[in-house]
């Protein structure tokens, strides 16, 4: 797809998003009916959907019924065109935030093993692991996760990091520590960290700066407005402000990924409306698109269009296997940050497959 053709509609969507924030639902209705949701220039592998074999039955209790998913291209690997081959395309990223779960390392190991078997037996491991998939277990399970997910294509990330590299900081964990374990991602600025642990924008900024000093480490920055802010039409200003504060003093060169094969960045933004996290109230695809357009235009203002177009923006907040397809069909929704539904291997795998399936239609 011609990148320039892509950019025009995206600018239009950004304009619509801003207009929607200003003028409300008529613009939304127009946007929903305009077919703009079909513009995302991504394609993805959707393979082996019907190939979950008896092996999984033998492994026991983790059978996924994927037969409802169409699989016309399943055996034709030549039809797989890797996202990123086209300028401006973004690899979708699905991440599972386990929070303070599960309670024991044995339970964590079971979840990891089931996830690994789903990916190896059903998705064919790394070869079919588009979208990019990451799990964020609690710190004590990170090393176990690295071991049990080896060969699956699933990456491992840390839910939080401190603001110091080493020294007398009891209870803290540094970005270099998690990187040395093999983690590729850290999550920063989750709303639970902000509200329950009083993390300020300045602290979040320090964490990102320190993390980006670690070669090979990428950052998922979470932002999002509260219900009160949403109801007072403050989404745009809150989200924009959070991004600008979190990324203050961080340059283009700091975030552009110079070693990646697929052109990309070391930064992912997770837009997570606080009112949708753990509440079962998922934002509508149109609501998500409006917010994501705000995120992208803020990034564009800070880093220029070329960089902003490469940054993946996830939606987070009560995502389920049922809601992923519609959400990810939006042009600026590049994946999902999943809490509750990532705590079962089947639920999480279905979300990954939902993302892959809808992308394969582009």
Nearer to ligand PEP, 97 or 117 (CB): 97
Rounded Cα gap, residues 49 and 65, in angstroms: 9
Task: Indicate which residues carry an active-site annotation.
Answer: 190, 272
- The C-alpha angle with vertex 212 and arms to 116 and 256, in degrees rounded to 5, equals 90
Cβ 315 to ligand PEP shortest distance, Å: 9
Q: Left if phi > 0, otherwise alpha if psi is -120 to 50, otherwise beta: which for 60? A: left
Quote the CA–CA distance of 271 and 314 in Å, as a whole number.
6
Instruction: Pick the piece of the chain touching ligand PEP (CB under 6 A) from 38-46, 126-134, 310-318, 348-356.
Output: 310-318
Close Cβ partners of 62 (under 8 Å, ≥ 6 residues apart) = 56, 114, 117, 118, 345, 346
The span from the first CA to the last CA of the chain, in angstroms, equals 10
Q: How far is the CB of 35 from ligand PEP (least distance, A)?
A: 29
Q: Which of 37, 43, 62, 97 binds ligand PEP (CB under 6 A)?
A: 97
- Given 130, 211, 318, 349, the residue binding ligand PEP (CB under 6 A): 318
316 lines the binding site for ligand PEP (CB under 6 A) = yes
How far, in Å, CA of 193 to CA of 159, rounded? 10
Query: Across 98-237, where does the E strand assignment appear?
Result: 132-136, 155-158, 185-188, 218-223
Asked if 339 interacts with ligand PEP (CB under 6 A), we say: yes
Candidates 278, 301, 322, 361: give the one binding ligand PEP (CB under 6 A): 278
Q: Is 335 in the site for ligand PEP (CB under 6 A)?
A: no
CA angle 10, 15, 19 (to 5 degrees): 145
The burial class, CB within 10 Å (0-12 / 13-18 / 19+), for 22 is: exposed
Complex with ligand PEP: residue 317 or 331, whichever CB lies closer: 317
Residue from 49, 337, 352, 359 in contact with ligand PEP (CB under 6 A): 337
Separation of alpha carbons 66 and 51, rounded Å: 9
Q: Which is nearer to ligand PEP, 285 or 339 (CB)?
A: 339
- How many residues of this chain bind ligand PEP (CB under 6 A)? 14
Per-residue binder mask for ligand PEP (CB under 6 A), 2-31, x = binder: ------------------------------
Q: Minimum distance between the CB of residue 318 and ligand PEP, rounded to whole angstroms?
A: 4
Instruction: For ligand PEP, give the closer residue by CB, 47 or 191.
Output: 191
**Residue 319 binds ligand PEP (CB under 6 A):** yes
- In the chain, count H helices and then E strands: 15, 10
Binding track, positions 121-140, relative to ligand PEP; x by CB under 6 A: --------------------
Task: Give the Cα separation of 312 and 195 in Å (integer).
Answer: 25
| Site of interaction with ligand PEP (CB under 6 A) | 97, 99, 272, 277-278, 316-319, 337-341
């Amino acid at each position: 797809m011609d990148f320039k053709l892509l950019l025009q509609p995206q600018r239009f969507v950004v304009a619509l998003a801003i207009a929607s924030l200003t003028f409300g639902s008529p613009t939304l209705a127009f946007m929903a009916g305009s077919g703009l949701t079909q513009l995302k220039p991504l394609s993805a592998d959707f393979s082996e959907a019907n190939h979950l074999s008896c092996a999984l039955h033998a492994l026991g209790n983790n059978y996924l019924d994927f037969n409802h998913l169409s699989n016309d291209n399943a055996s034709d690997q030549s039809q797989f065109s890797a996202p990123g081959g086209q300028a401006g395309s973004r690899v979708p990223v699905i991440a599972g935030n386990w929070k303070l779960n599960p309670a024991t390392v044995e339970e964590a190991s079971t979840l990891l093993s089931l996830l690994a078997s789903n990916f190896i037996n059903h998705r064919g491991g790394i070869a079919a692991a588009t979208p990019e998939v990451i799990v964020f277990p609690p710190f004590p399970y990170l090393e176990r996760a690295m071991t049990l997910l080896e060969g699956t294509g699933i990456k491992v990330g840390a839910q939080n990091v401190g603001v110091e590299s080493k020294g007398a900081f009891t209870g803290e964990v540094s970005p270099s520590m998690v990187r040395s374990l093999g983690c590729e991602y850290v999550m920063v600025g989750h709303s639970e960290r902000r509200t329950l642990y009083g993390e300020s924008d300045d602290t979040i900024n320090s964490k990102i700066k320190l993390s980006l000093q670690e070669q090979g480490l990428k950052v998922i920055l979470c932002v999002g407005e509260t219900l009160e802010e949403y109801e007072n039409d403050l989404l745009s200003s809150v989200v924009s402000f959070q991004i600008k504060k979190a990324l203050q003093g961080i340059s283009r060169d700091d975030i552009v990924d110079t070693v990646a094969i697929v052109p990309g960045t070391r930064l992912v933004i997770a837009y997570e409306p606080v009112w949708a996290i753990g509440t079962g109230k998922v934002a509508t695809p149109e609501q998500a698109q409006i917010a994501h357009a705000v995120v992208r235009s803020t990034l564009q203002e800070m880093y220029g269009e070329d960089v902003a177009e490469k940054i993946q923006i996830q939606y987070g907040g009560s995502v389920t296997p049922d809601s992923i397809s519609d959400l990810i069909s939006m042009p600026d929704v590049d994946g999902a940050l999943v809490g509750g539904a990532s705590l079962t291997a089947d639920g999480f795998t279905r979300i990954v497959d939902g993302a892959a399936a809808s992308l394969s239609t582009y």
